[in-house]
Amino acid sequence: QSALTQPASVSGSPGQSITISCTGTSSDVGGYNYVSWYQQHPGKAPKLMIYDVSNRPSGVSNRFSGSKSGNTASLTISGLQAEDEADYYCSSYTSSSTLAVFGGGTKLTVL
């Protein structure tokens, strides 16, 4: 069982917006503004899409945005494109002896 809880799957049509949630506790998501999101295409290494809750690394499309409320963080992808179809993982810094905890991953299907 993963430390952070994500929906197993979400789907949307091209052009639509979708949101993926990531629920933790006050010891991780709720306690720090250190939530990250990663995109992983099949057979590829994950790619950092969002860090520190809502910041995009250079080169990441502004269609990707992040937010947080309480113990739940969210990744929103607007203007869905076929290339967005992938697995998405959230992670958070944690006050436990584990540096970072990941969510179980969400499979995004673009219909």
Partner 1 sequence: EVQLVQSGAEVKKPGESLKISCKGSGYSFTSYWIGWVRQMPGKGLEWMGIIYPGDSDTRYSPSFQGQVTISADKSISTAYLQWSSLKASDTAMYYCVRHRRDILTGSFDYWGQGTLVTVSS
Shortest spacing between CB 15 and partner 1, in angstroms: 29
**Is 38 near partner 1 (CB under 8 A)?**
yes
- The b/e string for 16-41 (b: 16+ C-beta within 10 A; e otherwise) is eebebbbbbbebbbbebeebbbbbee
Name which of residues 67 to 106 contact partner 1 (CB under 8 A).
Answer: 89, 91-94, 97-105
- Residue from 18, 20, 23, 51 touching partner 1 (CB under 8 A): that is 51
Q: Binding segment for partner 1 among 9-17, 32-40, 64-72, 75-83 (CB under 8 A)?
A: 32-40
